Amino acid sequence: MNFSELIKQRQSNRSYQSKPVEQEKIEQCLEAARLAPSANNAQSWTFVVVDEPELKNRVGESVARLGMNQFVNQAPVLIAVVVEKPIFLTRLGSMVQNKDYPLIDIGIAVEHICLQAADLGLGSCIVGWFNENDIKKLLNIPRDKRLALIVALGYPKDVPREKRRKLREEVIHFNRY
């Protein structure tokens, strides 16, 4: 698959087979995340892989309890992404520029995971809607840290969909806004 095809192939999968994900493929997704760019190369992230079925189900049940994201339970692997305190330069930059660089960085790293997953024939879904405190407790994530996102990973059951996106003219301008 070439890169343009990969971009089109990746979609948010909300239905998964029970087939487990090979450890090697999980490692490849994590390596893709580890190699992602970040402001000042600060890499202010930790990836917590949840693959123990019982613990994973408890996380999935917690996510599902909020009503949406019931599908998270089906995914055989979840990757929780914790925001780490950035290095001084990034903190300073974030303050001066009024931009949350660590969160931007985590968005990029998470997309690396999803693209690598798609390349390996896996499905994924980025999940941002969950009871953060509840899941932090389940995963022993310190209370003073933020849990930014969870990525669901597994062999997808849902079929490829057409992408629903804004028109090119709405989102792309050349030279002037």
- Phi/psi at 75 (nearest 5 deg)? -70, 130
Task: Please pick, from the candidates 4, 18, 67, 128, the single residue that binds ligand FMN as defined by CB under 6 A.
Answer: 128
Q: Which of 44, 146, 39, 45 is nearest to 94 (CA)?
A: 39
CA angle 153, 154, 158 (to 5 degrees): 110
129 is a contact residue toward ligand FMN (CB under 6 A): yes
CA end-to-end span of the chain, whole Å? Answer: 34
**Per CB under 6 A, does 73 bind ligand FMN?**
no
Please give the distance of CA 144 from its chain centroid, rounded to a whole number.
21
Burial of 86 (0-12, 13-18, 19+ CB in 10 A): buried
* Complex with ligand FMN: residue 58 or 87, whichever CB lies closer: 58
**Judged by CB under 6 A, which stretch of 6-14, 47-55, 89-97, 138-146 contacts ligand FMN?**
6-14
Residue 48 or 87 having the CB closest to ligand FMN: 48
Q: Which of 29, 82, 127, 151 binds ligand FMN (CB under 6 A)?
A: 127
Residue 163 contacts ligand FMN per CB under 6 A:
yes
List of residues contacting ligand FMN (CB under 6 A): 11-12, 14, 69, 125-129, 149, 163
